[in-house]
Amino acid sequence: MPHPARARIRRLSVLALVAAAAATACGDTAQEQRQPSAVGVVPGLERFYEQDVDWESCGPYDADGPMMVRQGVECARIEVPLDYEDPDGEVITLAVSRLPAGGDRIGSLLVNPGGPGASGLSTALAADGTVLADRFDVVGFDPRGVGSSEPAVRCLTDAEFDADRAVDDGDTSPEGIAATEKRNQEYAELCAERNGTDLLAHLGTREVVQDMDVLRGVLGDDALTYLGYSYGTRLGTLYAEAFPGRVRAMVLDGAIDPEQDPVEEIVLQAVGFQKAFDEFAAYCAQYAGCPLGTDPARAAERFRGLVDPLLDAPAPTTDPRGLSHRDAITGVQQGLYSPTLWGSLRGGLEALATTGTGDTLLRLADLYEGRGEDGTYSNITDAFNAIRCVDDPPVTDRALAGELDTRFRAAAPFLDDGRGTGSAALDVCAFWPVPATGEPHTPDVRDLPPVLVVSTTGDPATPYDAGVELAARLGGVLVTFEGTQHTVALDGNECVDTAVTSYLVDLEVPARDPRC
């Protein structure tokens, strides 16, 4: 089993929505300039808040650029200081996307899909076809160091990523732990060498929330209207702490509890993925030939029987890489994010069981890892590591690392390969070349307007109770969705979407915490 690490909790349903968007020609981009807002301009940062924006074609911005062009999205670059304590020093750029409002415009709706490390440009289409797209300029952005923002964090080459994914990192013998820690340390050193420690030191959520306020001003909004998924809820919470008087409306879906210790967060994620696996196993059992059998109680045992032989040899695939044990686990976890992927996951496990081939699971793993069909990688993995390693203090206590591994296996038996020893390798953040700039804490939010928190009862990546806690801490209203998927707002559930839309457009907060 790979060493436990927080899952990248981006909102994959948004990316699927974007990929399936109709390729209807929409003509030239609007090129309409919004006047910067004079509200809340931070002294010394005037030139950033007041900068002009040159909107242009999204074609060269990222892999989804041509599709965004067809959908009428326009893109631009915004300048921000690398270090807000040195605004006259190095300047970096953020890639920003915008789908102009189709009707009576209220302002901008800034959307973040999660991660950390996920590109947000495609989220300009997150509200496509809804009332929100009529009333708001829907704006996505790549946070600093991510995607098309410049410079983007890059630690490994494409070939190095392929090689790394083929390595077994679940050996918890003393020799295996030493080898894993050596690779983690070498990775951290490569990140420092190829990016510089100045960049790595200023990629955390602390800086991104300041970038968000610059964006608010540049886009011409006196107050921020925001929709954040998964890790995006952390961005929203910290923005509310830093700028409570500049929040118009805020929807936080798939919450991260800001008080949650990162170690406990990992264990709770394991619980969530086990619950999602159990739900998937029950779904699979309805089909003849389900590779997990007809008894969901034995599904974890049968699953291990399918994937554990890959520790000795990868399964053949059309792609010459083959399916490693590590990629099989990644592909399965990817498939558990949403019931929309369960058919692919069932097919992948069935192929592994009947023909011994791993093509479908490898494709699912590639989706998670950001690998394109041409063999090139997005920088989501490097950015994920760079951001999380400065967002929270690292685990450097070996006893705690071993305890975490033991608890993870107990919480998610389907992920336990039986090789636990009570010891585990320190992960890459223990070797990170710059210190953390954030830590778990109780949000200190005053004079914040009511926010809307959406939480899903069977969310595999962000536990339901985290949403309950976040709503309470922010004095917000909780919308509960009863389902098994990662985030739900704007996914087509009428009950949830009605509450979200009424709140964002009319600032109508439900009278009580609704259940959908």
- DSSP, collapsed to helix, strand or coil, labels residue 479 as strand
Catalogue the long-range contacts made by 288-294 (C-beta closer than 8 Å, 24 or more residues apart).
289/350, 289/354, 290/346, 290/350, 291/346, 291/349, 291/350, 291/352, 291/353, 291/354, 292/349
User: Residue written as tokens 């939010």?
Assistant: 445
From CA 110, how far away is CA 329, in angstroms rounded?
A: 33
From CA 156, how far away is CA 194, in angstroms rounded?
A: 9
Tokens read off for 379: 């920088």
Task: Tell me if residue 325 is catalytic.
Answer: no
Tokens read off for 277: 């696996």
Using CB atoms within 10 A of its CB, is residue 103 exposed (0-12), middle (13-18) or buried (19+)? exposed
Q: What are phi and psi of 76, to 5 degrees?
A: -160, 170
Name the pairing type of β-strands 452-456 and 477-481.
Answer: parallel
Q: What is the CA radius of gyration of the chain?
A: 22
Q: What are phi and psi of 502, to 5 degrees?
A: -60, -35
Catalytic residue among 169, 213, 391, 459: 459
- DSSP, collapsed to helix, strand or coil, labels residue 136 as strand
Task: Tell me if residue 459 is catalytic.
Answer: yes
Q: Which of 40, 35, 38, 98 minimizes the C-alpha distance to 71?
A: 98
Query: Which residues, 6+ apart, have CB-to-CB distance to 305 below 8 Å?
Result: none
Q: Which helix (H) or strand (E) holds 224?
A: strand 224-229
Query: Which residues, 6+ apart, have CB-to-CB distance to 223 below 8 Å?
Result: 39, 216, 246, 247, 248
From CA 353, how far away is CA 372, in angstroms rounded?
A: 26
Catalytic residue among 230, 324, 338, 378: 230
**391 forms bridges with which residues in the sheet?**
none
User: Residue written as tokens 């950001």?
Assistant: 370
Tell me 497's DSSP state.
H
Name the pairing type of β-strands 247-253 and 74-81.
Answer: unpaired
Task: Tell me if residue 230 is catalytic.
Answer: yes
Cβ atoms 60, 97 nearer than 8 A: no
* Catalytic residue list: 230, 459, 486
